[in-house]
A and B are shown apart, each in its own frame.
Chain A
Amino acid sequence: MKRTPSIRLIKNGLMTLLMVAATLAVLAPLGIIFVHILKMGASSISLDFFTQIPKPTGETGGGMANGLAGSTIMIAMSSLIGLPVGILGAVYLTEYGHNRFADAIRFSADVLAGVPSIITGMVAYTLLVVPMKGFSALAGAVALALIMIPIVLRTTEEQLKLVPGTLREASLALGVPLWRTTLQVTLASARTGIITGILLAIARIAGETAPLLFTALGNQFWSRKLTEPMAAIPLQIFNFAIAPYEDWHKLAWAGALVLVVIMFSLSLAARYFGRQKRYS
């Protein structure tokens, strides 16, 4: 039977072209957004950004120093809550988790990671803001921790699974208890991979806005206590972007640039740790 291969080849070429076009269409917005952040951010940023708090409406200048501090404090607090839970939870899954319960945990973690972050904010609101009778940095940190836990749990588990069983056995055979083996051999061997996961999780929560809307709330000034509302970079970007003042837009762009630089540094660091030499 004779066929005309040319039609098939044309079709092949056409589809290939379409896929290349799709890729370009996907990457184009990245380039455009990136250029805008760089251009607008670089022209708006100044030393004041890092040292000043926002000026009242009508006055020019000001910065996001309180937001930077607030973001840092809340990320640190949520790491304090989220990392032990995520990492030790993952230890259970790898060391003892050969049962249906562990499967349920894995599945729940995946599902939890897909819950819209604004819901996390609502839950933190009812659990903390209402009983404590006020918006607070603490509630913001808890909301962020709830987002962090499933991410850290799953990435840590993946890393722990890569540790060769022979290392665990070597330690156990020396008469080292399982718990010490897990902490000092298994976790220690997987540490670069775990750090990668932690950095990515931090990068993720550093940009979260929705869960902070009704927990940390934001603050035009410095916060003195963890039980007070606190500023955060993403919240400030949001508030300034939707305000009608040109000057605030500039601050928002500067904030976006800083946030993007922080996130890219985190993911670069994560890549660096991710490429460290692994097990032979």
Chain B
Amino acid sequence: MQTKVTLENLNVHFGSNHAVKDVSLDFPENSVTAIIGPSGCGKSTVLRSLNRMHDLVPSARVTGRIMLDNTDIYDRAVDPVAVRRRIGMVFQKPNPFPAMSIHDNVVAGYKLTGSLKRSDAEDIVESCLKRVALWDEVKDRLKTSAMDLSGGQQQRLCIARTIAVQPEVILMDEPCSALDPIATLKIEELIEELKEQYTVIIVTHNMQQAARVSDSTAFFYMGELIEFGLTKKIFTTPEKRQTEDYITGRFG
């Protein structure tokens, strides 16, 4: 399998707190990689360093390299805005823009950069909403507020918003933690479909979910990468003691 994103000796500090310690890891292309570990293990921090979200935190310092295809996204010449266009993100809590309609939320990436052509908008909205299986539920009320949707619908809308700008990698930060089981199931099915076109990296605290949706799994503990491999192997025959303790529920 081809590698899409590579971490080389990634370190993240917040002030004096060393949150991610010397992590090297290859994320395979067109597959789902899950990042698991107990809370505070640095899994979200790793995810956020992948689209340079830490740039906005003054105390954060990221060292090492993160290669997207063959470019270091932390290179001085690289524009973080362009990085985020290629690496999209779905957040823990559904966060549609409250002042925008469903329609406008889908094309928000274009609207907010002032690059939306009216004639293209309808096509983008329809195709993206169809991909997240939301079209039939909302096609008659595209102009209504996105805040009237249920949590699960909102999260699918956020995924539609993310794929509308055609990223290559989609980061998901515990995307189902605020949703009920049925909504969760729908999102998981969607993740399965997304990997045909995108590289998906998902952080989850739910081990069953990691086992269900991912092809590879990385286990983090105390800011360090403990073990990385095919999901099947990690969950059946882990090599490290800590991994086994965690997935069998002995801590975390």
Contacts and interface: CB of A to CB of B under 8 A. Distances in A.
A–B contact, 8 Å CB criterion (strictly below): yes
Interface string B160-176: 01100100000100000
Give the dominant DSSP class at A's interface. helix
A189 B99 CA distance: 7
B97 A174 contact: no
Question: What does DSSP make chain B's interface, helix, strand, loop or mixed?
Answer: mixed
A169 B112 contact: no
A280 B99 CA distance: 12
Contacts of B70: none
A169, A174, A184 — which one has the most chain B CB atoms within 10 A of its CB? Answer: A174
Contact of A167 (B51, B95, B109): B95
A20 to B, nearest CB: 43
Contacts of A168: 56
A194 B14 CA distance: 32
Interface string B45-86: 000000101001010000000000000000000000110111
B165 A169 contact: no
B56 A178 contact: yes
B17 interface: no
A169 B95 contact: yes
Contacts, number: 73
A174 B53 contact: no
Interface string A168-204: 1111111111101100110011000000000000000
26 contacts: A98-B58, A167-B95, A170-B97, A170-B161, A171-B112, A173-B162, A174-B84, A174-B85, A174-B108, A174-B162, A175-B86, A175-B88, A175-B109, A175-B113, A175-B165, A176-B81, A176-B109, A176-B112, A180-B112, A180-B114, A185-B112, A188-B99, A189-B97, A189-B98, A280-B98, A280-B147
Interface of A: 98-99, 164, 166-178, 180-181, 184-185, 188-189, 279-280
Interface of B: 51, 53, 56, 58, 81-82, 84-86, 88-89, 91, 93, 95-99, 108-109, 112-114, 147, 158, 161-162, 165, 171
Given A176-B112, A181-B112, 13 more contacts: A164-B95, A166-B91, A169-B91, A170-B96, A170-B97, A171-B97, A173-B53, A173-B171, A175-B88, A176-B81, A178-B56, A180-B114, A185-B112
